[in-house]
Every structure is written in structure tokens, then in C-alpha cells.
A and B are shown apart, each in its own frame.
Chain A
């Protein structure tokens, strides 16, 4: 009883103090350095680590204070909502976000924008895309298309049997790359607006990897059970690709199967250089982040809001280029890689 009394008294006292302070400190956004928030899908993925580095550098250059936050896992919408609320409470001028759930994040972003915070999606568009003020991202469909075209040219003259190691069900990035690949390969007539993953007769096996190396390996092992004669492997990212390579090597099939991937991380590009991965579509998280911070700095200075979609570019990296598909070699790739 007494303990409970203390509990209520303590909470009550705190509430009173808070009420006494009121909203007096609300206007603090005007003083001091303007703040910019960066919210990534996860804390630890090298892609987002690089993005944070880029943002940090640019924020220092532009005279902004950077606040960062991340979800606990890919798909953790609640943490991102909480982070947006906290950043708005901290008085940020703008928020850069890689949405974990492209639809579910919309209401929280709308609330932030209603308080005149500039919100820019990085890497992944929200659904609908105009949920944010602007989008700085890789064209993931195009990234898929490039490796699709490459795989098509490379496998000319054989009967293609494709294994698709995807991300996770319902995640837009995975769907875009998947569909882009099949389009580039000429296997499916699909455009970037399709909201669901399509399939094609050439696809002999499809599995989810969550972009994880170990899961990529077991997915590949299962696919080899199902279709031992497959000859092309599409992977959602390079960790999944390296996992697939390990599985293929264990069966002595690594020379007979073509692995293509997306991302352009340093480990991945090294994999391309060493011949484990045939080609990868490289994207540029650093550029997304620095463009984003710049946009917020501009908004803080003169109130101009960035709008629309800015393609941060994608480049096919391979040392065995094929005619008709534009590509850069791994030396270029390593210079521009992340992670």
C-alpha cells in the first residue's frame, strides 16, 4: 500500500513539474544550430552505416546538427514512428528516412509534415510516393533491369534456368529488383508500378533470404535440390549472393552458374573482382544522404522545400562486360563502394 502510494506520488509530482514548465521551452528550435534527423531501417547494415557517415560529413559541412535513429529490425515500423515523434519534439528542420514499411509510415510522416518539417525518403519510396516531400533513391527497378540484361546477354545460347533469391514477402525494394530483373531478362512483361512480384517460365526456384548470407546459402541449397541444373542465380543483395556461392561451391557448380546481384557494397564488389559474383548493380547511399542533408540545410536557410524524385544513380559493375550492356569495372566499383 505504502509503496503504491509512493509510486503515485512520484508520478504525480513529475506530472505537476511538467505542467508547471508547460510548453515554455517549445520555441527552442529557433536558437542554436538547426537539426536534421536521419532514420534508417536498421542500425547495423553497412548500407545504412555508410548513409549515416555521409549524412554526418555533410551535416558538419552545412553547419547542421545530425540526430540519428533506426528500427530494431527491417520492417520495424513502430520504432520509426517513435523516432519521427521524438525528432519533431526535438525541433528538427527536416527528417531523412528509409521507410521500413512504405505504407504504414505514412500517417506519422503526415503528422511531422503538418508541423512544417521537411521529410525526404532515402533509398526507398513511401507508398504513395508523395507521402514525403521528396525522394532521393536508387531506381531499384532499373538496378534489377541492368543485371537482367547482363544475365540475358551472358547466357545467350543456353536454356536459362533461373533461381531467384529474394528479400522477404511484400517488401517493395525486393519486388522492384525482382521484377526489374525479369523485365531486363526479357522473361516477363512487367513495369515498375507492379505491386506484386511476378514470375516467369524460366524461373525454376524462388526463395526468401531476408538479404542474409546464411539464409541465402540454405535457400541456394534447397534450390539445388529442386533444380540441380539451374544456371543463373538472381540475388537480392551481395550477402545473399555470397551465401549462394558457398552453396554452389560445395557442389562444385560455382563455375557453371552465373550469379548476379544488387547493392555495390565493398565486400560485394570484391566478390565480383574475385569472380564469385558475375555482376552487381551498384547504388550510392552516401550520395543519397549528402543530397538529403543539403536539401534540409537549404530549407533551414531560405525555406525552399525539395520536391519530386532524384535518381541517385545505379551502375553495373563487372569485369566481364558484354556488348550492349553498359558497365564499369571493379576498380571503379571499389572506389565508389560502401561498407
Chain B
């Protein structure tokens, strides 16, 4: 069944239209990858799914995005609880200037998820474990998050997002600033997380999309060109434009 359903979404930065009439269904427990050339609107689109674009004063949205049957652009939407349900991992790792423990504990604390101190500890450990980071940090939980390597910081940010128990995780080029080994770890992690979460991942890297995703969506100039099963997309796409992009004829 579809977890997120987007219909006829248009997005504007002031007068400039960044997204044109996007309609797509995202299924529960799938990994869907968004690919496309720079500036094609894939990052803008992923940020409409948790209303992150609200922070941009001149941004304007038309159309509908329903998550679990509820339109998140209804005026009475509780954006805070929406974002708790739809977590996000960003392109550049952005840990808080706090200890490793406190970074992961942050979301648990502000949302009041934990029952007591022991429960908090347990949840932090579980999130770090799910993000495949616990083994590397369990001896230095109270040291600064800035002491971690880039790849570790990014997995910390994933752990931080997991800790609030979201249902959907949006990942905006989560591995683009990492080296191949760290990237591989993130990719393995993403596949592992699929069991529990619905994952939307934006990526520049077509091999990455091919490796991790169940379905792939190709964006171009603010339009959604094609959505298909990843295997089909990369072997026999329906659209000529998709084929041209994937075979590297432009982009």
C-alpha cells in the first residue's frame, strides 16, 4: 500500500516554478531513489515531504501530499509531529555541538519519548546500533560528536533520526560527501533499514540508486520523467530521456 501519495504538486520559489505537476506514490517499506541532474528539483521535492521548505519565506506549494491518508499541507497540520514521523538525513552531516550520546538523545528528549533514564540509555544504544555505529563509539559516548570521522558523523545523524522512531526517512544525498568505504557502509545500512522504514533517497550517483533502491524516479527540469522498478529503469526504461541520462548521453 502507498505510504505517501503526491498528486499534482507544484512548487514555486517566488515566481520561479521549481516543480511541475508531480504525482507519485511511495510504498510502505520500500526504498525509492530520486535521480536526475543538478537543479532538477529532486532535493526540493524530497523537502516537500516533511515540509522542510517551510523555512524558506518565498516558497509556495500547490497540490496535495498525503501521508497515511492525511494531506500534510492542510492548514491545521501539526508540522512538529509530522517531522517526527518523517525523519531526515542531510547531505552534509550536521551533528549538534554536543556529546555523541546527547546528539542521539536530543530527539528522544524533546519529544518526551523515554520513560526514564534507563529507557533513554537503551533507546540511544539501540539507535546507534541500528545505525551500525555503536561498536565504534560505545567507549566514548560522552565525547564531542565533532571528534568522529565524516562517515561516522553521518551515521550518527542517521542514528539521531532513527532515535525518534520515524516511519519514513528522507535522505538527501547522504553519502555524497563521503569516501567509498564510508559510502558503502551507509548503503548497507540503508538496505538494512528498509525492514522497518520507508526510505526516500536522493542521489547523484546512479550506481548507488541501482545498488540500494527498489524503485527509481528520474527528475529533469522540475518534472518527474519516469518512475519504475530500479532493475527495469536501468536496463530498459520506458522513456527515451531516461535512457539518454542513464547511458550518460547528457547530465
Q: Do A and B come from one complex?
A: no
Q: Which residue numbers of A lie inside 8 Å of B, CB to CB?
A: none
